[in-house]
Structure 1
Amino acid sequence: MKAERLTSNQHAVLWLLQRYEIGTFETGFRRLGWTPPDGASPLRITCPAQVLQTCLRRGFVRMEGQKASLTDRGYDRAASFYTKPLSVQRSVLPGAVQWLTDAQLAAISPWYPDTFRPRLDDRKILSGIVHVIRHGKMWGQVPPECGQELQVYRRFLKWSKSGVLDAVFAHLRTRRADGSICLVITPEMLLRHPGTRQGVMAGWYPSILAPEELAA
């Protein structure tokens, strides 16, 4: 009998559960991501809700409370896998959010735009923007503690176009383990992330990386 065809995300879910046995799911993300178990917490998989629903409906996965594992049918299907799925190789989730400190917020506050309305929490929104750019993630993978995806993306887009983020990124610095100071958002990060790379080409971040530098 011909094996049922799997999507790349379904393939990845079965491969991960075969390797780690027990996992938990968080749904709502546009792409699959995963965090390996750390001793205290099991494997964590994030993916669109329909991926988990399809695996359950096809009898590959079972849920016991919040924990998922493979059924016998799922193990039989996973036994045919010979290589690690590309989506697993490319999508390990970053660790916990590194919140901007009071000192960092104070250093960049002179470049905040004036507004007549109360602004969304700067620490949450900016920490979410930094998290997505530093780890090369999609806006749909903004950690929920940083705010809603649309809130974070709108702030990113509005402040990028207006030049606010150019000044913020140029003055947002951190200290390395050796004591030296470096930018939190580097030119390499701007070029790696699709959204900020487009911004570089549009001239949004000239203080860090001007468009003409790409041809150098």
Structure 2
Amino acid sequence: KVIEDIAEAKKIAQKIGYPVIIKAAAGGGGKGLRVVRSTTNLEEQFPIAQNEAKTAFGDSSIYLEKYLLKARHIEIQVVGDKKGNVLAFGERECSIQRKHQKLLEETPSPFIDEKLRRKLIKAVQEAAHFIGYQSLGTFEFLVDERKKFYFMEVNTRVQVEHPITEMVYAIDLIKEQIKIAAGDKLSFSPHLRLHGHSIECRINAEDAETFIPSPG
């Protein structure tokens, strides 16, 4: 729910409890994010977050969420065809980040057990089937210390880290995406099993000391 003013923000923050996080409704990549731990802090950060969202995305709309301490960033790859078939795969761990940008992804996550993995896959498959999802996509979650998961967003595209899922399942997601776009039925078996472990590390074109972008 988009928050219209600071008075509404205060009511929501009091209801869900501090700390909370302000997020840009049209945002991504860590822009427009502000963690606040008190009403006074909220009054200070609310207009700053609005201005940052407006500058970055041309839209000052923001909303509030409960801020989870020590949460893990976990995502689930999904693929759906035009005939109503969907399939979700095991998780990718994306918690190692800098400035809200992923640096390292791995699968399977060392934190997620088989019981939670099955719950995540089931939730994603049901959601994707309900909305009639087609092509590749990624459902992203935060998972707290008690292993309770919270939905964040769906990235309706191929993500940089998709190859690690391909490696542990011995599949070609891009080939499947093209076939689905051509009208073919999903060819992956629902009985695919994860084998091994895969890690991807991103290389950023930055100055090693200042971290300022440096493409060379």
More helix by percentage: 1
Larger RCO (CA under 8 A, 6+ residues apart): 2
| TM-score relative to the length of structure 1 | 0.26
